[in-house]
Structure formats: structure tokens, C-alpha cells
Amino acid sequence: MLRPAPARRLPGLLLLLWPLLLLAAPDPVARPGFRRLGTRGPEGSPGRRPSSVAPDGAPASGASEPGRVSGAGVCKSRPLDLVFLIDSSRSVRPLEFTKVKTFVSRIIDTLNIGPADTRVAVVNYASTVKIEFQLQAYTDKQSLKQAVGRITPLSTGTMSGLAIQTAMDEVFTVEAGARGPSSNIPKVAIIVTDGRPQDQVNEVAARAQASGIELYAVGVDRADMESLKMMASEPLEEHVFYVETYGVIEKLSSRFQETFCALDPCVLGTHQCQHVCISDGEGKHHCECSQGYTLNADKKTCSALDKCALNTHGCEHICVNNRSGSYHCECYEGYTLNEDRKTCSAQDKCALGTHGCQHICVNDRTGSYHCECYDGYTLNADKETCSVRDKCALGSHGCQHICVSDGAASYHCDCYPGYTLNEDKKTCSAIEEARRLVSTEDVCGCEATLAFQEKVSSSLQRLNTKLDGILEKLQVNEYGQIHR
């Protein structure tokens, strides 16, 4: 808004009409391409999310509702290389210049200051340009604000283009404390002026923007709006600000707090992480999974981890994954799980009585078993039942002297030398004794021969009976020893 000239220099009629002219004059902020205090762009700056703070600084509609997250705690300033270019020409009175410094300090208060966070520099300009301090000069808010407080105005003139060129050539450099392109740290300049530049700004501003510097233009009172739009980055409605007096410029600090805000999607609940959202700062985040789960390729959802495949389960035999992302141990057949729920012990399958062995069940160390047969028997192909292999070995053959096996199921008896096999094919008689008995009785008499045969047969029958009894006892005794 134009300041009125002293009244003593105006004609009388003009003095009377001056208030009406002021009211009828078009509001400079009605021009498109810049913002006035109390207005804001529809979507925030490029690449930034709109803040949940309303234009008046009050919580946005619904921000205080249950379950909603307000701006406090949600916004954290992202790291910047920030340079203030402040006009200190003679048109800016001392008290007004103090308001500018307060505006700068309030913006600093909203930022996270530090070597790894935001770095701040100030360029003071009028007809000359002075770099008050570089980006690497101060790393904490207190010393930074004290340095701002020590800045003094320069002189006449408004060399805005020269100020932008100086910032580009001497401040936004790695040597001066700016971070290189690989860091992806935004380079931002805020120029504050109340007049018309006395040099060309459109070309130098274009070069600065092409080098990656984002320019914000803050106009006060008599600032030339076309020049502000030439200096500012696109879109203009988000990079051009206007206030009528220095008395309200301090309130713009909240606007820049919104602009430099990095919303925390973890707090907002917009992260879409299935399990855990981790804030990385600068409005960035990443998803993680609960214990026992692994992050899928979409970087948001989680799947149960195959802990068995990691070979850290400790199961002696078998590891089985559970749906919950955990696991449990099992044992091979014939083993049982011990109390530690990891190791296994062999089961006594023979003791269970379910083995199916016809004769003998033998436990193996592997938790299984096998069948065996008694002496004289052989294990059949089914590995459970037994067949007679050698009847002589069974001891039930009845041979008085010698049992001779004729195969798997047959045999015949034989006698020791000097004996002869009797007619029963089992017992034996001495050859000389048979001759003596025959000669004593009556060798030629049939009666003597019959008497001898009856006597021998009777003796053999008694002997066989005793042998059978002994053999039965031996078998019972042997079977009992095997199954003890």
C-alpha cells in the first residue's frame, strides 16, 4: 500500500478526498500470484503434505475429535540448508528491522537446528551485500538467534538480484557449509523486502532455481508484486507472501513452520504398515514386523518367518513351523519328546506289546525294533514270524545218540560207533551186548530173542520218557531266560 505524502504539500480539495481515495484504491493483494497473511495455497509446497494446522493457527476442523491426531507432535521440520536474504535499505526503519529479525528468529525456533538437521545463514543487503554468517557457523538455536540479534542495517539501495547471486555463489556451496547433491538436502532461500529491486532479478532468480535453490519471496508494505513473482519459485501461490506492515510479519513464521513441516505418517496412522511403523524423520518412515515375522516385498505386510529354515530351532529330530510365526519340535517314529521339548528318547516298542514278533522282540537304538527267532528257527520274509530251520537243534528229536538234520523240517537218528540203531529208529544198542544176550538165552530159540527185544524196548521207552521230560524243562528254562 502506498504511503500518503505530507498533507502540507497537497491542495485542500485533495486533502478532503484523500480518505475516500484510500478506501477506493484497489487492494494490492487482490492481484493473482501472491499470498496475503491469512491465506494459504490449497495443497502446500511442492513435495510436501499440507499441515493439519488451520490458517489462523488453530487446529484444523476435526483435529480435536477423539481418535484424530492434531498438528502437535505430528510435524517435525525436515533438514534444510536455509538462507535468509533480508533487505536493510534505508526505507526499513530500525524498529521495522527489529521486527524482521524477530521474524527470522521465530522461524529458527520452529526448526530442528544442527549439523545433521537444518543449517541457517543470513545475507544482509541494500546497495551492497554482506554475508552475516555462513551455514556452518552455528549449530544450535541459541547461538544462531544471538547472531541474528547482532545484525545491523546497511544503507540505501535495494540490490535484490545481487543478494540472490551472492547467496548462490558464496553461501550455497560445500565450502561454506552447504551439503552436496548426494545428501538430498533441500536448498531454500527466503528473501524479505519492502521495495522494488534496483537491479535485474528475473534472470538471476531463474539461474538460482535452475541450480536447485527454492526461493520464497516475502513482500512488506511497498514491495513490488511483479518483482516478488519474478524472484519466487513456482507455484507462486505457495512461494509469494505479502504483509501490509512489518508489525505483522512475525506471524508469517507459522506459515513457514507449516511449509517446512514433515508430517509423521506413523503418528497420523497413514503408514499402512501391517505390524510396526518406524519414523525416520523428514516425514519418512519404514515398516517392520513383529518377532517371528519377515517383511514382504511390498515393504508393508508381514509373513510368518520360517524359523525351522534358520537352523536355530534346536530340535533334535524334526522342526515344525506354526502359523503364529513360532515353531515346535517333534520326534521320529519310535521316539518320544523329552521334557525340554527339543530332544528325543527312543520308545521301548517291545514293551508296548505291539511289535508282532512271533518269538523274540529286540529294541534298537534308533527307536525301532526287530524280530528274532529261537535257535533252530529262521525269520520269515515278513520279518515277524519264524519257521523251523533245524529240528535237531530244537532238542525234541528223540534220538538217543545222534540227530542228523535232513533239511529245514526233517531229520534222522544215528548211533555212536559200536552201537546199532534199534527198530524204533531213535534208540541204540551195543553190538556185543546184543550178541551176549542172544547166546545166553538161546541163540537159536525164538523165545530168547523175543524176551531180549521186549526187555530192550521196555528199557528204551522208560529212557525216552525221561529224556522228553528233561528236554521240556530245558526248553522252558531257556525261554524264560530270553524274556527276562
**pLDDT tens for residues 124-166?**
999 999 999 999 999 999 999 999 999 999 978 899 999 999 9
Task: With both helix axes pointing from N to C terminus, report the angle between 94-109 and 141-149 in degrees, rounded to the nearest 10.
Answer: 170
Confidence band (pLDDT; 50, 70, 90) for 168? very high
Residue 29 pLDDT > 60, yes or no?
no
Burial 86-110 (b: 16+ CB within 10 A, else e): bbbbebbeeebbebbbbbbbbbbeb
Confidence band (pLDDT; 50, 70, 90) for 58? very low
pLDDT value, residue 437:
57
Confidence band (pLDDT; 50, 70, 90) for 97? very high
CA angle 387, 389, 395 (to 5 degrees): 105
Residue 12 pLDDT > 50, yes or no?
no
Q: What is the pTM of this model?
A: 0.46
Q: Which of 140, 158, 34, 153 is nearest to 101 (CA)?
A: 153
Which whole number is the average pLDDT over 74-79?
Answer: 68
Omega before residue 235 within 30° of 0, cis? yes
Model confidence pLDDT, tens digit, residues 288-341: 998 778 899 999 998 877 878 777 888 999 999 887 778 899 998 878 899 999
Confidence band (pLDDT; 50, 70, 90) for 444? low
Mean pLDDT of the chain: 78
What is the DSSP pairing of strand 119-125 with strand 35-36?
unpaired
CB distance 252 to 241 below 8 Å: yes
d(CA 468, CA 466): 6
9-13, 37-41, 476-480, range with greatest mean pLDDT: 476-480
For cell 480435536, the residue is 64
CB distance 213 to 204 below 8 Å: no
Choice between 442 and 38, residue whose per-residue pLDDT is larger: 442
pLDDT value, residue 76:
64
pLDDT value, residue 413:
93
Choice between 78 and 175, residue whose per-residue pLDDT is larger: 175
pLDDT value, residue 371:
94
Q: Which of 79, 170, 159 is nearest to 125 (CA)?
A: 159
pLDDT value, residue 435:
64
pLDDT value, residue 445:
59
d(CA 339, CA 343): 8
* CA 242 vs CA 37, 251, 281: distances in Å: 6, 11, 31
pLDDT value, residue 351:
77
d(CA 403, CA 94): 137
pLDDT value, residue 347:
76
Residue 15 pLDDT > 60, yes or no?
no
